[in-house]
Structure 1
Amino acid sequence: MRAVVKFIKWLLGLVVLAVVGLFAWLYFAPPELIRVGSGYSAKIVCSNVFIAGRDPNEVLAIDVQAPGHPLLRLMKVSVDKERGLVSAGLFGVLGKSVAVARDGLGCASVPNGDTGRARQTSVHVEPLAVTVQDALWPEGERVDASQNPQVSKIIDDAAMAGTGMRALVVVKNGHIVAERFGDGFSAKTPLLGWSMTKTVNVAIVGTLVKDGKMALDSKDLFAPWKADGRAAISLADMMAMSSGLEFNEDYGDVADVTRMLYLEPDMAGFGEAKPLAGEVGKVFSYSSGTAVMLSRLWQDAVGEKAKALAWPRTTLFGPLGMHSAVLETDEQGTFVGSSYLYATAHDWARFGQFLLQGGVWNGAQILPAGFVDWMREPAPASKVYGKGQVWIEGPGDEESPGAGAAAGLPKDTYWMEGHDGQTVAIIPSEQLVVVRLGLTPAKLGYRPQAMVAALVKALHQ
């Protein structure tokens, strides 16, 4: 009997040692997957708390844990509103990551934990003038909704709007004719556009092309590239996602895209170091790394750091009246032009209308004449993607070019698209813009084409 008791004690001791060893390993050398999960949790909670004013526990439960990787359900966050800090970790302690809020620039992931250095990259940006609330959109925020019963029926249809819809805005002939918002959200709630940010980033490049500070045929874009085949990559190649650079955009676990967003303090530097994996200009490869490098290039073209950080607001958001728009940077101060623009649905609609109008707003030619038409020309290496980071085919149609037209959409329809169901459909022939924002994972199979096609029919003149 004593031998049995002794064996059990020995076995329990081994278990305790194993648990302690496992905890020590996870604490001092956490796997990258845990750090990606904690980085994502901290960043999403931080932005939604400090930009959108949402409850952190709600954001963690609904935005982070419910739709995501099972590992995320074990993440706990801590929010320090006075210091503008959010930390997250597995059970709150393992693989901890930090995100920091900075004046005028939203939140930044701080993979190395050096929040002091992260704050040093912050540049105060004077707030944009408050829009006139009583003026009709787009000059103000007041909406004179359509009385068209067909339109109301379409946007009130849960299947048409899609699971997790947070905002729908329908713009016809330059006026909002219908809108709907999900529970807990309103016209005043800034919402993340994810990869729709890429299109806005290209428009910012366009402002510098107009000023003569950038050229689409420029090559030798980064100093290290001049020594090898990457010297042949042009700005236009990067805009068309055909640089030939290696970049894994798989969001499943730890891929290039998740490593860049949550483990790298210098996101542009991470992308810049990637080798060639295909012939320049000949192979289409969708890459968030490319979009962040474009941000670095246009910021360098602006020059002085404070001026570059203010550039999106002074040259684009301000003139368009996108008062809610916050484009976030990485720890080093490079705008995350691939993913991190928050704006209200009304402001996303303003940008869509801006594209529909060919880069003109209130009579001012903000983008070069013909630039938007160039953006939506098919990229040389793709039948479904435009030269300026817009989609010619809608969500799910990328494998079947022409499916959008077959579904009843005009042939000139093009799209801004983002992760988890963010879309802006732009149809110049119908003078129609349809914004759909929400939290709708791709696995649910939702596609907004049916709703947009129905709206085209109901509003056709």
Structure 2
Amino acid sequence: MRRLQRLAAWTLSALALAVVVAASWLIVSPPALLSVGSGYAAKIVCSNVFIAGRDPAQVLAEDVQAPGHPLLRFMRQDVDFEGKTVTTRLLGLFAPGYAVWHEGFGCAGVPDGDFRAAQQAVSDVPLPVIPPGDPAVAWPDGEAVTPDARLAALLADPALTGPGMRAVVVVHDGRIVAEAYGDGFSQATPLLGWSMTKTVNAALVGRLMQAGALSPETSDLFPEWRGDARSAITLAQLLAMESGLAFNEDYGAVTDVTRMLFLEPDMTRFAVSLPLEANPGEAFNYSSGTAVLLSRLWMGALGGRVQALSFPSRGFFAPLGMASAVMEPDETGIFVGSSYMYATARDWARFSLLLLNNGMWKANRLLPDGLVAAMATPTAASGGVYSRMQTWTHGPGEKRDTDYGLPEDTFWMLGHDGQSVAIVPSRGLAVVRMGLTPSKLGYRPQPLVRQILDALDASKLEAGQAPT
């Protein structure tokens, strides 16, 4: 009996020691996957709480835990409303993730926990005050809309708008003609565009091309590339995702994209360090790292920190009346042009209308002539699915848009978890669809766009007009 008691005591002691060792390991050197998860959770909660005004418990449960990796279900959070910070930890103890909010700049992930450095990166930068639209004035100058009953019926069909839909806005001939919102969301809720941000980032590059500050054919783009083959990469090749740089865009594990977004305080330093895996201009590789490099280039072309940080609001959102739009930086103050822009669905629609108008807004040309055409022009290296300006020339899925009956000039902004905007210039149509819809659910927005086109044609026939 004593022997059994000693054995049991020894076993318990060994187990206790193992628990202490494991806990110490998790505290001192947590696995990268856990740190990715906590960094992701902190960033998503921070932005949705302090930009969109949502409840932190709801955001953690619905946006982070429900659709994500099973380990995220064990994340616990601490939201400091006074200090505007969010800290998340596995089981409330391990692998901390941090994010901090900045006035006018949303939230930045802070992988190293240095809140002060992140706050100083964007401090003392004056931003223009963009007044909200007048509810009595017609959109896009104001917020008044006149819905089309036929289209409203389509947007009430969950089979067309898809699971997890949060907003759908339909723009036709310069006006919002239909919109719908998911439970808990409204026309005033800023929503994350994920990779739709890449197209806005490309438009900012276009603004500086128009001003002569950037040229598509410029090479030798970064000091870190001088003296090696990467110096041959041009700005045009970055825009077309044909730089030849290695980058793993797979989510769900520790890859280049998750490491850059959630483990690296200086995302540009990580992206600029990547090696070539193909000759520049010869291969297509979709890369969020490329978009971050574009952010650094256009910000550097403006010649100063204040000018660069204020440029999206001053030079783009203000002229369009996008009062809700927020681009978010990394810890060092470089905009995460690959992924992090929040705006209401109506403001995403304002940007879409700019593209429908070939870069013109009222009487002002905001984008150089030809830039929107480049967004609709497929590249050979991509197999005809991607453009020269950070857009997709076919919607999600294996089928081509023409297989759904969509016009050949349709092109897309697409983002993670079901964000999409279909731009159909020949029909004066844009369809903004936002939500939380993981790709594993198989939702495709093309049938919604096709049904909208059919409804518009039916309305013309009833009015005695020929359909387009």
TM range (shorter): over 0.9
Look up the match of 2:460.
Answer: none
Amino acid at match of 1:255: T
Look up the match of 2:131.
Answer: 129
CA offsets, 1:202-258, max 9 Å, x none?
000000000000000000000121211001100000000010001110102000000
Question: 1:297-376, aligned counterparts within 5 Å?
Answer: 297-376=297-376
Q: Look up the SS of the partner of 1:171 in the other structure.
A: strand
Q: Look up the SS of the partner of 1:417 in the other structure.
A: strand
Q: For 1:374 and 1:440, locate their aligned partners in 2 and report how far apart those are by CA, in whole Å.
A: 29
Look up the match of 2:280.
Answer: 280
CA offsets, 1:174-219, max 9 Å, x none?
1111110000000000000000000000000000000000000000
Q: For 1:147 and 1:162, locate their aligned partners in 2 and report how far apart those are by CA, in whole Å.
A: 20
Q: For 1:117 and 1:133, locate their aligned partners in 2 and report how far apart those are by CA, in whole Å.
A: 40
Amino acid at match of 1:44: I
Match of 1:146 among 127, 148, 158: 148
Q: Look up the SS of the partner of 1:392 in the other structure.
A: coil
* Shift of residue 356, structure 1, vs aligned partner: 0.8
8 Å contact kept, 1:170–1:178: yes
* Shift of residue 147, structure 1, vs aligned partner: 2.7
CA offsets, 1:326-354, max 9 Å, x none?
00000000000000000000000111111
Question: 1:23-422, aligned counterparts within 5 Å?
Answer: 23-122=23-122, 123-148=125-150, 151-382=151-382, 383-397=384-398, 400=399, 403-422=400-419
* Shift of residue 376, structure 1, vs aligned partner: 2.0
Q: Look up the SS of the partner of 2:226 in the other structure.
A: helix
Look up the match of 2:432.
Answer: 435
Q: For 1:92 and 1:448, locate their aligned partners in 2 and report how far apart those are by CA, in whole Å.
A: 39
* Shift of residue 315, structure 1, vs aligned partner: 1.1
Q: For 1:452 and 1:83, locate their aligned partners in 2 and report how far apart those are by CA, in whole Å.
A: 43
Task: Flag as ranges the 4+ runs of structure 1 deviating above 2 A.
Answer: 123-127
* Shift of residue 146, structure 1, vs aligned partner: 1.1
| Structure 2, unaligned runs of 5 or more | 458-466
Q: Look up the SS of the partner of 2:213 in the other structure.
A: coil
Percent of paired sites with the same residue: 54
Q: For 1:124 and 1:77, locate their aligned partners in 2 and report how far apart those are by CA, in whole Å.
A: 31
Q: Look up the SS of the partner of 2:149 in the other structure.
A: coil
Amino acid at match of 2:394: E
Q: For 1:369 and 1:289, locate their aligned partners in 2 and report how far apart those are by CA, in whole Å.
A: 27
Q: For 2:52 and 2:75, locate their aligned partners in 1 and report how far apart those are by CA, in whole Å.
A: 21
* Shift of residue 152, structure 1, vs aligned partner: 2.5
Amino acid at match of 1:394: G
Amino acid at match of 2:392: W
Look up the match of 1:459.
Answer: 456
| Structure 1, unaligned runs of 5 or more | none
Look up the match of 2:19.
Answer: 19
* Shift of residue 124, structure 1, vs aligned partner: 4.0
Q: For 1:63 and 1:251, locate their aligned partners in 2 and report how far apart those are by CA, in whole Å.
A: 16
Q: For 1:379 and 1:241, locate their aligned partners in 2 and report how far apart those are by CA, in whole Å.
A: 10
Q: Look up the SS of the partner of 1:416 in the other structure.
A: strand
Amino acid at match of 1:8: A
Q: Look up the SS of the partner of 1:378 in the other structure.
A: coil
CA offsets, 1:12-37, max 9 Å, x none?
11111111111110011100000000
Q: For 2:126 and 2:265, locate their aligned partners in 1 and report how far apart those are by CA, in whole Å.
A: 21
Amino acid at match of 1:453: R
CA offsets, 1:295-344, max 9 Å, x none?
00000001110111010111111111111000000000000000000000
Q: For 2:41 and 2:249, locate their aligned partners in 1 and report how far apart those are by CA, in whole Å.
A: 19
8 Å contact kept, 2:127–2:314: no
Match of 1:426 among 420, 423, 427: 423
Q: For 2:323 and 2:223, locate their aligned partners in 1 and report how far apart those are by CA, in whole Å.
A: 36
CA offsets, 1:98-139, max 9 Å, x none?
101011110001111111111101134243223222211111
8 Å contact kept, 1:281–1:380: no
Q: For 1:253 and 1:407, locate their aligned partners in 2 and report how far apart those are by CA, in whole Å.
A: 33
Which shifted more, 185-194 or 95-104? 95-104
Q: Look up the SS of the partner of 2:333 in the other structure.
A: coil
Amino acid at match of 2:223: A
Amino acid at match of 2:180: R
Q: For 2:229 and 2:406, locate their aligned partners in 1 and report how far apart those are by CA, in whole Å.
A: 41
Return the TM-score normalized by structure 2. 0.96
Q: For 1:169 and 1:63, locate their aligned partners in 2 and report how far apart those are by CA, in whole Å.
A: 21
Amino acid at match of 1:21: V
Look up the match of 1:446.
Answer: 443
Q: For 1:134 and 1:152, locate their aligned partners in 2 and report how far apart those are by CA, in whole Å.
A: 21
Amino acid at match of 1:446: Y
Q: Look up the SS of the partner of 1:129 in the other structure.
A: coil
8 Å contact kept, 1:121–1:331: yes
8 Å contact kept, 1:103–1:124: no
Q: Look up the SS of the partner of 1:96 in the other structure.
A: strand
